[in-house]
Amino acid sequence: MKNSVALWLCGAALCFSSALHAQQNLTQPRASQAASVSQRIGLLDVTVNYSSPGVNKRTIWGSLVPYDQVWRCGANENTTVTFSRDAMVEGKFIAAGTYGLHMIPGKEQWMVIFSTDKDAWGSFAYNKNNDLFRVSVTPVETTFHEWLTYEFPDRQADHATLSLKWEKLEVPIRISINLKEQVLENMKTELTGLAQFSWQGWNQIANYCAANNIHLHEALGWVDRSINQNKNYNNLMTKSLVLRQMGRIDEAKQLAKEAMPLGTEQQVNTYGYQLMGLGQVDEALSVFQDNVKKNPKSWNVYDSLAEAYGNKGDKANAIKNYKKALEMAPENQKARIQGILDDLQK
């Protein structure tokens, strides 16, 4: 009996010991804590997930981080970069997705590696065969950063710089997009949904193409679809702009003339300024003159007509119409108009 009890206790102890070994360690804070940074560039979202080690009074470059060896550019698991849309990295195409990020530090140049393996633990199992591509970048000096950090210090409409900063070194990586094409492709996608059933969406995409002078033949088809759904001032003027960009000036003028009676005072005024922006001052004058006839009690139409005369170099008519605008203008506009008149009458 005693032997049976002893055997049972021994077996239970072994099972308990095995269970203990199978259990996971309890979660505790890491020395190099997790961090992330995201930035939108146009319609592209770029997200970097990494762990952030500290300098901690150590020599970093060439010591803790050796030169000419693959480095995980962070700590713990892979540093990863996620692109929500296709992009360019230092001039090389990268498809939407998540990639492992590695670097090879050098005294003068650094190699930045984008890997298709995003799940590795750091760079210990790095395999060159998984490289998507490598790009060479030049590090620069920066202010001291105790903690390894990724930032987007330079941001523009169609590009941004992703920078690794640690100790007194910054490693910049340029990320860029074809903004116009990206916006257009997104509009096309949206027009496969509910937006396809209203005139506004087709007008917007055509207007975007006209404003940026891209895909004009497609734009003509899109604006015609808008007009077929609901003919109005907006889509007629969009079609006029598309035709103008295509060099079909007479057709553009005729369509604009057809649209004028449908436009509000502000819409017609805006069109006049668009023409002035294109250098078509005589056409703009004609538009502003028609707007004055249609809205003779509005100070703003005289103000715009005067500006067009000024751009044409007709000082006398500019002064005449600014004086008319001044008589009718609200108090918050009088000082501005009087200042213009004073300059013209010197």
Beta strands in 66-183 (DSSP E): 79-83, 87-89, 92-94, 97-104, 110-115, 131-137, 140-155, 159-176
8 Å CB contact between 62 and 27: no
CB atoms within 10 A of CB 323: 15
Which segments of the chain belong to CATH 1.25.40.10?
180-344
Higher-pLDDT residue of 5 and 201 is 201
Give the pLDDT confidence score for residue 172 in this predicted structure: 98
Give the pLDDT confidence score for residue 25 in this predicted structure: 81
What's the pLDDT tens digit per position in 74-122?
998 899 999 999 999 999 999 999 999 999 999 999 999 999 999 888 7
CB atoms within 10 A of CB 259: 22
Furthest CA-CA distance within the chain: 124
Please give the angle made by the CA atoms of 265, 269 and 272, to the nearest 5 degrees. 145
What's the pLDDT tens digit per position in 210-267?
999 999 999 999 999 999 999 999 999 999 999 999 999 999 999 999 999 999 999 9
87-89 vs 79-83, strand pairing mode = unpaired
Residue at 143: amino acid letter: T
Mean pLDDT for the stretch of residues 126-130: 94
20: pLDDT strictly greater than 50: no
Please give the angle made by the CA atoms of 241, 246 and 251, to the nearest 5 degrees. 65
What's the pLDDT tens digit per position in 41-50?
999 999 999 9
H/E stretch holding 128 reads none
Tokens 């900063």, located at residue: 165
8 Å CB contact between 80 and 118: yes
23: pLDDT strictly greater than 70: no
Average per-residue pLDDT in the chain?
92
pTM for this model (two decimals): 0.78
346: pLDDT strictly greater than 90: no
Mean pLDDT for the stretch of residues 2-11: 52
Q: Would you place residue 175 in the very low, low, confident or very high pLDDT band (cuts 50, 70, 90)?
A: very high
8 Å CB contact between 71 and 111: no
Measured CA to CA, the distance from residue 335 to residue 66 in angstroms comes to 67
What's the pLDDT tens digit per position in 279-295?
999 999 999 999 999 99
Write the DSSP string, 72-88.
-SSSSS-EEEEESS-EE
Beta bridge partners of 113: 102, 134
Tokens 């007629």, located at residue: 236
Torsion of CA 102, 105, 109, 114, to 10 degrees: 0
What's the pLDDT tens digit per position in 323-345?
999 999 999 999 999 999 999 99
Burial of 12 (0-12, 13-18, 19+ CB in 10 A): exposed
Q: How many helices (H) and strands (E) does the chain have?
A: 11, 10
8 Å CB contact between 65 and 87: no
Q: Is residue 169 helix, strand or coil? A: strand
Mean pLDDT for the stretch of residues 48-76: 95
Short-list 162, 166, 129, 142, CA closest to 32: 166
Distance linking the first and last C-alpha atoms of the chain: 123
What angle, rounded to 10 degrees, do the helices at 216-229 and 233-245 form?
160
In this structure, what DSSP letter does residue 54 have? Answer: B
27: pLDDT strictly greater than 80: no
Residue at 310: amino acid letter: G
CATH of domain 180-344: 1.25.40.10
57: pLDDT strictly greater than 60: yes
Give the pLDDT confidence score for residue 11 in this predicted structure: 55
